[in-house]
Homo-oligomer: A and B are copies of this chain.
Amino acid sequence: MYSIKDVSRLCGLSAYTIRFYDKEGLLPFVTRNGSGNRQFSESDLDMIRLICCLKNTGMQLKEIKRYIDLFMEGDHTIPCRKQMMVGHRASILRQIGELQKQLGVIETKIAFYEAANGADSCCCLKTEAPKEK
């Protein structure tokens, strides 16, 4: 069994975020110990990792909650959950396609700058790479 801090470390979420997810109903499967503290099992961890995966691929928390709700309802919702994942796969493929398209635009822009100016000159070496993920 893991504490909230363990999960935070293992899943790369802050403890705040984990509590927030719980409050939002994303973690109804998490149990408590005698003193009311959350305790997470290995399978809870797996579920949280799946939640992160869905979130990182652009699924909204309320949609993830819908998935979790189905999960809690039992095996008879498997076809429905599968349906959601199939839809989400399509969404991810769309995103990848879109990113690849936009990548082309940026490539063109870079090529333009390459042509407009000498190879490696830079007026502003302190420019750090954008931090967006």
Contacts and interface: CB of A to CB of B under 8 A. Distances in A.
Closest 10 CB pairs of A and B: A82-B113, A87-B129, A80-B124, A58-B132, A79-B122, A57-B102, A83-B127, A79-B123, A53-B105, A85-B110
Given A98-B56, A102-B92, A117 B82 contact: yes
Copy number in this complex? 2
Interface in A52-108: 53, 56-60, 63, 75-96, 98-100, 102-103, 105-107
Interface residues of A, number: 54
A106 B57 contact: yes
Interface in A110-133: 110, 113-114, 116-117, 121-124, 127-130, 132-133
A56 B122 CA distance: 26
A13 interface: no
A124 B67 CA distance: 13
